[in-house]
Amino acid sequence: MLGSRAAIRYAKAVLSLATDQKSGEAVSGDMKLITDTIAQSEDLNQMLQSPVVTSSDKKAVLLAVFKDANVATTNLIDTLIANKRLPLLNDVASSYIYLYDEQRGSQVATVTTAIPLTDELKTKVLAKVKELTGKDAELKNIIDESILGGFILRVGDIQYNASISNKLNTLKKEFTLN
């Protein structure tokens, strides 16, 4: 689970409200947009964390950046501002995404490879994840050339490391112990 306890509580409250209003998917899209935007913009992240920038300026910026957001999302921003918890926005969004996916029976499978996955391999990985966990998954491919080849699959708390660098490290350990 991502975020602090407070972020999780806000995320649960928004999820409950969105579920009641049957807007869970729209709010999930907003939350993904929020996490992606904050991750890509260091200026936005610093503005959210800054005690110098006024709450009204922060609100104006957020409403301008996320102008097409759902009512539940804008209410969350207003609530976080009123409670002086706006620095938690990214954690609340991440927690919401996790809780929403869990509620739907979905999950995120992260595959780290040295080169991008082909569509055929993505299909095979998603089928294997479904077979192993019994749940549908959204695939996220991370490119890391340091693994040399193979892949590292992470689904929730389960990690399977079939990378060449891991196998080389295992061999190195075996040779140094003998």
What is the DSSP annotation of 109-139?
A: EEEEESSPPPHHHHHHHHHHHHHHHSSEEEE
**Domain extent for 70:** 5-102
The predicted model gives 55-76 an average pLDDT of 92
Of 24-28, 87-91, 150-154, the poorest mean pLDDT is in 150-154
pTM of the shown model: 0.68
Q: Are residues 163 and 92 in the same domain?
A: no
**Alpha-carbon distance 75 to 78, whole Å?**
5
Q: Are residues 45 and 61 in the same domain?
A: yes
**Which residue, 82, 102, 122, sits at the end of a domain?**
102
Strands 136-143 and 106-113: parallel
Q: Are residues 144 and 158 in the same domain?
A: yes
Q: Are residues 114 and 163 in the same domain?
A: yes
pLDDT tens digits, one per residue of 93-104? 999 988 998 888
**What does pLDDT average to over the chain?**
88
Number of structural domains, the chain?
A: 2
pLDDT given at position 1 = 43
Q: Are residues 138 and 172 in the same domain?
A: yes
**Which residue, 102, 128, 163, sits at the end of a domain?**
102
